[in-house]
Structure 1
Amino acid sequence: MQRPPTSAVLSAILAFSMWGVLPVYWKQIGHLGAGISIAQRVVWTLVAAVLMLLWQGGLKAWLVALKQPAVLRTHALSAALLGINWGVFIWGALNGHILECSLGYFLNPLLNVLIGCLLLGEKLTSWQKISITLAGLGVGIQMIAVGRPPWIALLLAFSFGFYALVRRRSMQGPLPGLATESIIALPIALAFLAYWSGQGRHIFGTASLHDVAYILGLGLITAVPLLGFAHAARKLPFSLLGLLQFLAPTGQFIVGAFVYDEPLSPVSLMAFGFIWTAVLTFCLNLFWQGRKPAGP
């Protein structure tokens, strides 16, 4: 196996590390509320994406693609799924559910495998079946621990899993696709911001340097890790990328448990134990597959 490019490994680590500590960012503007935070994220993500497209020389091609009805239909659906994912994650981060958010992103890769099996006709290996079974047991134990389905984790896993499925149908790359999703969602975001402003809500928080800087930075904290991930995905073996992606939920778990002291009962810890065992099994399977010599 060839040694993976250092730039690609560092790009993946940067992307997943940023996603791992993202709850800390949302806490800084938590006084805005989840709704305003999401709407502002749409606006400034579009600004950042358009500027990056201009810098890369891809703005004209993106504008041409916007005239294609098929592109708009595909990305309208992906924008809706991404909006659900963003909304649930931000609400969870602001309301003391960072640990459950991390559970969703631990589950996501396993769910992607299941989606591939059920909807794309892909075959499950024996180890993947074991991983999914262990993850299912972990979810069941978490239901017992909290007395309800872990709906935040499940919504995050399913929304991002089906978002990835929809994006497979698009010919647009990560950055143009994000720009298209953002411009489709822009009228809704602006309408909500106008409504809340009319109701006397402070859509730029206290208008302090702190709040304005964090709001303007929403585009960068959305686009930068996405570009890092896109670069890594093109250069790294799938097995290595699959291993590195668990840095994000691991970071979220550490932030929730040790930075914000979210409660973790023994039963919940047992549920995470099953999830982590499922993840370990999944990663080992990826690693072994990655080491197999390619066929003729």
Structure 2
Amino acid sequence: MTSLRLGYLYGLGAYLLWGFFPLYLKLLRPAGPLEILAHRIVWSVVFVALLLAALRNVGFLRALLRRPWAVAGIVAAAALIAVNWGTYIYGVNSDRVVETALGYFINPLVVVLLGVTVLRERLRATQWVALGIGASAVVVLTVDYGRLPWLALTLAFSFAGYGLVKKRLGLPAAEGLFVESAVLALPALGYLAWLTSRAESTFGHVSAGHTALLVLAGAATATPLLLFAGATNRLPLSSLGMIQYLAPILQLGCGVLIFHEPMPPARLAGFALVWLALVVFTADAVRNARQSRRPQTPKQPAPIA
């Protein structure tokens, strides 16, 4: 199997798992969002630690501790991913899967916005058009919901910010996830101990299957991230950008078709504007990628007078 084909398999695997993740989270009821988040953090540390031990790759920690700015960046990344995970779990378990899907639809547009505001990047005219259409979609959805779609915006901005920090750090997927989860593990364990002391923990008190699902939350978190890392190492960014929409499409399908969440005409119109913005954005990205790969015609030397 070629490296490119393997990259597509890794990418599809990652986005399929993320797309159907709401189905998994629903199975974790009656655990509350914070309890699920805490278990997700703790068992992620355990799962990735076992993986790194099997690969005999633990020496990176010593090198990392000699880079204080990298440690500070990891703390920031950990805080952002905790906000993202917690918001997503809350959205799914409060029957707002459609709004969580919206967050990941607008995430590419927020990434572009952060590029302008944080990295001082210059946008092409078509990218400005896509951002304008996306902003119009938020206005339409605000009118439809009767409030700002804060859950979707929190997901989009937290994940975009997380991606920005991760890009600066440059850590491999497994090592990065381990350190980020380890930063969050102590408060997560403290919260689980507090729940247990108040006899409010569901762990071990609902059923053996429920307990097993909470433990498997670590593997369910780490596996798509590792697949995604494998895809990014093998695929062009334009190809990866195209298949990233698979996850929110599947999440939207789960919300509307499986959980029967409402999709009134005004909300559908807002989503349609988001999709139009993404079409404009993706078409511009593909065209720019093709132009950058096109060999440049060498300039002819000027004639000697």
* Pairwise TM-score range, normalised by the shorter structure: over 0.9
Query: Which residue is 2:64 aligned to?
Result: 65
- Report the more deviating stretch, 210-219 or 266-275: 210-219
Query: Which residue is 1:197 aligned to?
Result: 196
Q: Does the C-alpha gap of structure 1 residues 275 and 40 become closer, same or farther in structure 2, counting only changes over 3 Å?
A: same
- Displacement of 1:67 in angstroms is 5.4
What is the distance in 1 between the residues matched to 2:63 and 2:186? 20
Q: 1:52-131 residue pairs with structure 2 within 5 A?
A: 52-66=51-65, 68-131=67-130
TM (norm. structure 2) is 0.92
Q: Does the C-alpha gap of structure 1 residues 265 and 178 become closer, same or farther in structure 2, counting only changes over 3 Å?
A: same
Q: Does the C-alpha gap of structure 1 residues 4 and 113 become closer, same or farther in structure 2, counting only changes over 3 Å?
A: farther
- Displacement of 1:100 in angstroms is 0.4
Deviations along 1:161-204, one digit per CA (max 9) or x if unpaired, are 11111112214212111111111111100100000100111241
CA contact (8 A) 1:38 1:87 kept: yes
Deviations along 1:106-139, one digit per CA (max 9) or x if unpaired, are 0101110111122112221222111111111111
CA contact (8 A) 2:47 2:218 kept: yes
What is the distance in 1 between the residues matched to 2:233 and 2:98? 30
Name the aligned partner's letter for residue 142 of structure 1: L
RMSD (Å), alpha carbons: 1.6
What is the distance in 1 between the residues matched to 2:66 and 2:210? 36
Query: Which residue is 1:165 aligned to?
Result: 164
Name the aligned partner's letter for residue 135 of structure 2: G
- Displacement of 1:91 in angstroms is 0.2
TM (norm. structure 1) is 0.95
CA contact (8 A) 2:192 2:201 kept: no
CA contact (8 A) 1:131 1:278 kept: yes
What is the distance in 1 between the residues matched to 2:167 and 2:243? 21
What is the distance in 1 between the residues matched to 2:206 and 2:71? 35
- Displacement of 1:48 in angstroms is 1.1
- Secondary structure at the aligned position of 2:169 is classed as coil
What is the total number of aligned residue pairs between the two structures? 294
CA contact (8 A) 1:39 1:189 kept: yes
Q: 1:136-285 residue pairs with structure 2 within 5 A?
A: 136-204=135-203, 206-285=205-284
- Displacement of 1:209 in angstroms is 2.5
Deviations along 1:21-43, one digit per CA (max 9) or x if unpaired, are 11111100021010100000000
Name the aligned partner's letter for residue 47 of structure 1: V
What is the distance in 1 between the residues matched to 2:3 and 2:175? 26
What is the distance in 1 between the residues matched to 2:173 and 2:88? 20
- Report the more deviating stretch, 50-59 or 96-105: 50-59
Query: Which residue is 1:12 aligned to?
Result: 11
- Report the more deviating stretch, 14-23 or 116-125: 116-125
CA contact (8 A) 1:98 1:252 kept: yes
Name the aligned partner's letter for residue 134 of structure 2: A
What is the distance in 2 between the residues matched to 1:38 and 1:73? 22
What is the distance in 2 between the residues matched to 1:63 and 1:214? 33
Based on CA coordinates, which of the two structures has the bigger radius of gyration? Answer: 2
What is the distance in 2 between the residues matched to 1:142 and 1:246? 20
Q: Which runs of 5+ in 1 are unaligned?
A: none
- Displacement of 1:97 in angstroms is 0.7
Deviations along 1:204-252, one digit per CA (max 9) or x if unpaired, are 1535221122111111111111011111111111111111101111111
- Secondary structure at the aligned position of 2:210 is classed as helix
CA contact (8 A) 1:44 1:218 kept: yes
- Secondary structure at the aligned position of 1:32 is classed as coil
- Displacement of 1:62 in angstroms is 3.0
1:22 matches 2:21 = yes
Name the aligned partner's letter for residue 233 of structure 2: R
